[in-house]
Chains A and B, each alone.
Chain A
Amino acid sequence: MGSYISNTPEEQREMLSAVGVPDVESLFSHIPQEVRAGELDLPAGLSELEVRRKVTGMAAKNRVYPTVLRGAGAYRHYIPAVVKRLASREEFVTAYTPYQPEISQGLLQSIFEYQTMICALTGMDAANASVYDGGTAAAEGVAMCRERKRTRAFVSACADPQVIQTIRTYCFGAGTQVELIPEREGRTDLEALKGLLDQESACVYLQQPNYYGNMEDAVAAGEIAHAAGAKFIMGVNPIACAMMESPAACGADVAVGEGQPLGLELSWGGPYLGFMATTKAMTRKLPGRIVGQAHDGQGRRGYVLTLTAREQHIRREKASSNICSNEALCAFTVGAYLSAMGPQGLAQVATQCMSKAHYFAGELEKIGLKRVHTGEFFHEFVTTCPRRDEVLQALDGAGILGGLPVEGGLLWCVTEVVSREELDRAVSIIKEVCGA
């Protein structure tokens, strides 16, 4: 049995004697016998080496693809060595939420820097210290926009299906009505949206680029939302933010997104990070922790958790959200990643993603696959694919995770880590299967 208990049996006896009880059982004697568990049906504890063998064995049952051409909400990007090293520093890893600011300045400052960088990326005025992921960030964004007389949320059908489902679940709790804005040829049907909005509409949620990788007319969507007195929420890919018009420039009241592309491992879906940013006017509606600048009695600059009057530990049932733990270490990692990349580096990642995706789409079209949608896309796109299962199987055999099966074909994604040779190899495999 492994154990992390420090005290020896002799020390435990000393402590018991100091407390004045004969044994540890005496400290449990006030618990009713009826609820005491007997010996549990669990395996015996293991040594560290045994745990290593067992868990390494589990990891070995997973397939790690050398080439990944699948995204749909989780993306394999290059993570600089320096980012991984910094994010594993145990001072940060083993700390709790910084309730004692005087001994937590490093942590608080790292979050303040993260908030600053999320504002830079989105163009918004204020960001929080993170929520669980992109889906919950979108759901919390919808909650921010609900007003007493505005209780209907309009969500683009072209948003990530998992994000839509998460919004629906949160709205089931809050009693907010969720309506889907229909899709038209791979994009949100903005004409239809105009007819849907009314005085009870709280917000419009648009994903940019959308689930199919297509660029939406976000400026127009924002104008339609605002014309009806509704708020405009944009769910954005943070890498694309280096290249596309920022949420602020598109008129967003709330900008949210999945932070995983910014230096976080795929890790089979988590932990990731949801970023949230908003305008000055809505800052106090943000859920979760927020770090602010403060000064001590000597005028020295420091950082604290601030605007806590919104939060559960102060306001209980009147809190704006229940969030307590967030994804602080992921926020730290994102801060380190964005600092490592800098403006040129992030722009380079965005350009390479988009360029490689377009190269790949062009090569696929040359062998007879067709893009299902027209118009601009970023680093994801949908193509038709005859003999889809065989194509995926053939790619799999070559160590390539192909596009995600979606209605109409495959949703492909290309990032900067995929080389032209890998793309060419994928194309030739697909060509062979499809016999073009």
Chain B
Amino acid sequence: MKLIMERGAPGRHLDLLPPCDVPQVTLSRTRQEPLDLPQVSESELVRHYTELAKQVYGVNDGIYPLGSCTMKYNPKINDEMAALPGFSQVHPLQPEGTVQGCLEVYATAEQLLREVTGMDAVTFQPAAGAHGEFTGLLLIKAYHRSRGDAARVKILVPDSAHGTNPASAVMAGFQVINIPSSPDGCVDVEALKAAVGPDTAGLMLTNPNTLGIFEKHILEITRIVHEAGGLCYYDGANLNAVMGEVRPGDMGFDVIHLNLHKTFSTPHGGGGPGAGAVGCKELLRPYLPGPMVERGEGDLRWAVPEHSIGRVKDFYGNFAVVVRALCYLLTLGREGIPEAARNAVLNANYMMHRLAEKYPVAYAGPCMHEFVLSLQQLKEETGVSAMDIAKGLLDRGIHPPTMYFPLIVHEALMVEPTETEDKETMDRACDIFLELWELAHSDPEALHAAPSTTPVGRLDEVDAARNPVLRYQKP
């Protein structure tokens, strides 16, 4: 497929602006090199992107069981509301009195999410989950510092955690201590006890964890960390399994992030924008990034928390994403929120049950919203890897599960169907998974060669990284 830079012709353009109605001026020192941007007509532009659109797979195209990513259906009303001119045309530096509706969006969403999570305050400034982790960890850092407790420099992270957890901890200036999992896939409580101490700043935990297992000793875990003087951080990536059923605040967590683009249905946009709302208990509220929405006398206004860590980004966060999440919260409400979690868990268990007919599940027992298959045995027997099965799925119109994660499971495929998939879609997907198992035994070469129906076959990623070509240059 041609690049937009390979289309068009010199002089082609769109007519968009009227002539300048004032005398023209320019800078004394101006750009010397030519501005090498595409020169295309409007129809050419539309055809180019339409062609690109045919080579993208979104939730609208079919099942997207990407574990830990919660690729649920993105309701269209949410997009329509976010695009209302009353939101989209508002300048972020307008006076408070002229943005009461925007402030109400934040105040309402905060109130609902406080109840869902059991937290005392929620900020929408972080733009993504990892950004929320970074923010939450800075709250922990500021909290210990304010108490003169500068020795708390270590963050404990289970070995099954998302890669962002240790990376965020380092960005926040902490050392990372990995905590091993026990044979049942949960945090090894004895190892945790041995790891905590006067240098413990906190623990980061996902619950249910990335194996789709609920940490049943959660109260003991958070108690151990608290008794050692540390704080507990909840990675909300997997909240979809338990929202409305279990609240992070009740499990003993002090600070959390939510991925509004996962649990609360906002679209991923091919990798973003998301929103990483951060909630915290009262003890961390004074450190939140400012400004926060506050109720004044008859109106809403901004206020900067007393010991704020400062801004983590410009303005107030990905507002249009929060509007979408608010629409979702209002739609589901009291009954709908737990109902979504229950159906996410039911769907995952149903798919796990069907796939377990052939595929070994990494950890037995009922799962929560996702489960992990290990294809290690399949690979030993047939040479067919998790990657080969994934590429076979591509040829059959299914988006593959998350591959090779969590790292503690070999040849992992992590499956998360979400509550919005229906039974026949899951049945069809399961039939294809099971067919591929058979194919791995009967014709492994066919899977090594997959995919064959996609616009390109497997791309040489090693060469791409060794000799990086990161932009188009004219021949």
Q: Does A98 contact B (CB under 8 A)?
A: yes
Contacts of B246 in A (CB 8 A): 31, 35-37
Q: Does A127 contact B (CB under 8 A)?
A: yes
Contacts of A143 in B (CB 8 A): 171
**Contact call B460/A294, Cβ cutoff below 8 A:** yes
Q: How far is the CA of A34 from the CA of B218 in the complex (A)?
A: 10
**Best-buried of B332, B337, B353, B460 by chain A (most CB within 10 Å):** B332
Q: Does B302 contact A (CB under 8 A)?
A: no
Q: Does A316 contact B (CB under 8 A)?
A: yes
Q: Does A328 contact B (CB under 8 A)?
A: yes
B55: shortest Cβ distance to chain A, in Å?
A: 4
Q: How far is the CA of A25 from the CA of B296 in the complex (A)?
A: 43
A404: shortest Cβ distance to chain B, in Å?
A: 6
**Contact call A102/B168, Cβ cutoff below 8 A:** no
Q: How far is the CA of A186 from the CA of B461 in the complex (A)?
A: 49
Q: Which of these, A5, A48, A119, A297, contacts B419 with CB under 8 Å?
A: A5
B214: shortest Cβ distance to chain A, in Å?
A: 5
**Contact call A61/B104, Cβ cutoff below 8 A:** yes
Q: How far is the CA of A182 from the CA of B134 in the complex (A)?
A: 29
Q: Does B150 contact A (CB under 8 A)?
A: no
CB-CB nearest in chain B for A86: B49
Contacts of B167 in A (CB 8 A): 312, 315-317, 319, 321-322
Contacts of A24 in B (CB 8 A): 342-343, 345-346
User: Chain A: how many interface residues by the 8 Å CB criterion?
Assistant: 205
Contacts of A295 in B (CB 8 A): 459-460, 463
Question: Are A348 and B17 CB-contacts (below 8 A) given A45-B332, A103-B57?
Answer: yes
**Contact call A242/B366, Cβ cutoff below 8 A:** no
**Contact call B171/A321, Cβ cutoff below 8 A:** yes
Q: Does B236 contact A (CB under 8 A)?
A: no
Stretch from A12-20, A188-196, A198-206, A380-388 at the B interface: A12-20
Q: How far is the CA of A416 from the CA of B22 in the complex (A)?
A: 11
**Contact call B470/A292, Cβ cutoff below 8 A:** yes
Contacts of B458 in A (CB 8 A): 102, 296-297
A219: shortest Cβ distance to chain B, in Å?
A: 8
Contacts of B194 in A (CB 8 A): none
Q: How far is the CA of A303 from the CA of B460 in the complex (A)?
A: 10
Contacts of A126 in B (CB 8 A): 468, 470-471
**Contact call A268/B331, Cβ cutoff below 8 A:** no
Contacts of B163 in A (CB 8 A): 311-316, 319, 324
**Best-buried of A6, A52, A160, A295 by chain B (most CB within 10 Å):** A6
**Contact call B464/A31, Cβ cutoff below 8 A:** no
**Contact call B101/A376, Cβ cutoff below 8 A:** no
Q: Does A343 contact B (CB under 8 A)?
A: yes
CB-CB nearest in chain B for A347: B35
Question: Are A129 and B271 CB-contacts (below 8 A) given A58-B101, A294-B459?
Answer: yes
**Contact call A46/B1, Cβ cutoff below 8 A:** no
Contacts of A127 in B (CB 8 A): 470-471
Q: Does B412 contact A (CB under 8 A)?
A: no
Q: Mark A328-364, 1 if CB is under 8 A from B, else 0.
A: 1110100110111111111111011011101100000
Q: Which of these, B42, B112, B270, B335, contacts A97 with CB under 8 Å?
A: B270
Question: Are A27 and B34 CB-contacts (below 8 A) given A52-B81, A92-B269, A96-B64?
Answer: no
Q: How far is the CA of A267 from the CA of B171 in the complex (A)?
A: 29
Complex interface residues of chain A between 72 and 88 (CB less than 8 A to chain B): 72-74, 76, 78, 80, 82, 85-86, 88
Contacts of A40 in B (CB 8 A): 115-116, 244, 334, 337-338
Contacts of A109 in B (CB 8 A): 1, 3, 52, 55
**Contact call B454/A136, Cβ cutoff below 8 A:** no
B145: shortest Cβ distance to chain A, in Å?
A: 10
**Contact call A339/B4, Cβ cutoff below 8 A:** yes
Question: Are A330 and B94 CB-contacts (below 8 A) given A306-B468, A420-B22?
Answer: no
**Contact call A101/B470, Cβ cutoff below 8 A:** no
Contacts of A308 in B (CB 8 A): 465
Question: Are A92 and B314 CB-contacts (below 8 A) given A169-B309, A249-B33, A376-B27?
Answer: no
Contacts of A318 in B (CB 8 A): 170
**Contact call A6/B26, Cβ cutoff below 8 A:** no
**Contact call B101/A304, Cβ cutoff below 8 A:** no
Q: How far is the CA of A378 from the CA of B470 in the complex (A)?
A: 31
Complex interface residues of chain B between 112 and 165 (CB less than 8 A to chain A): 112, 115-116, 118, 127-131, 133-134, 137-138, 141, 162-164
Stretch from B82-90, B226-234, B278-286, B438-446 at the A interface: B82-90
**Contact call B26/A80, Cβ cutoff below 8 A:** no
Contacts of A420 in B (CB 8 A): 21-22
Contacts of A59 in B (CB 8 A): 81, 84-87, 101
**Contact call A298/B319, Cβ cutoff below 8 A:** no
**Contact call A292/B468, Cβ cutoff below 8 A:** yes
Complex interface residues of chain B between 47 and 62 (CB less than 8 A to chain A): 48-61
Contacts of A175 in B (CB 8 A): 173
Stretch from B195-203, B260-268, B372-380 at the A interface: B260-268
Q: How far is the CA of A137 from the CA of B66 in the complex (A)?
A: 28
Question: Are A32 and B216 CB-contacts (below 8 A) given A43-B333, A62-B86?
Answer: yes
Question: Are A55 and B14 CB-contacts (below 8 A) given A3-B336, A268-B90?
Answer: no
Q: Which of these, B1, B323, B470, contacts A105 with CB under 8 Å?
A: B1
Question: Are A344 and B13 CB-contacts (below 8 A) given A43-B334, A120-B36, A316-B163?
Answer: yes
**Contact call A329/B25, Cβ cutoff below 8 A:** no
Q: Which of these, B42, B131, B469, contacts A292 with CB under 8 Å?
A: B469
**Contact call A270/B461, Cβ cutoff below 8 A:** no
Q: Mark B236-264, 1 if CB is under 8 A from A, else 0.
A: 00000010111100110000000101000
Q: How far is the CA of A133 from the CA of B14 in the complex (A)?
A: 28
Q: Does A426 contact B (CB under 8 A)?
A: no
**Contact call A58/B214, Cβ cutoff below 8 A:** no
Q: How far is the CA of A143 from the CA of B168 in the complex (A)?
A: 13
**Contact call A107/B270, Cβ cutoff below 8 A:** yes
Q: Does A408 contact B (CB under 8 A)?
A: no
Contacts of B326 in A (CB 8 A): 55
Q: Does A91 contact B (CB under 8 A)?
A: yes
Question: Are A245 and B468 CB-contacts (below 8 A) given A63-B98, A104-B55, A401-B94?
Answer: no
Q: Does A436 contact B (CB under 8 A)?
A: no
Question: Are A296 and B460 CB-contacts (below 8 A) given A169-B311, A342-B40?
Answer: yes
Contacts of B307 in A (CB 8 A): none
Excluding A86-B45, A91-B56, 19 further A-B contacts by CB distance (< 8 Å) are: A3-B340, A21-B349, A37-B245, A37-B246, A51-B330, A95-B57, A103-B454, A107-B270, A269-B319, A296-B460, A312-B166, A328-B270, A328-B271, A341-B16, A342-B12, A342-B39, A349-B17, A404-B93, A420-B21
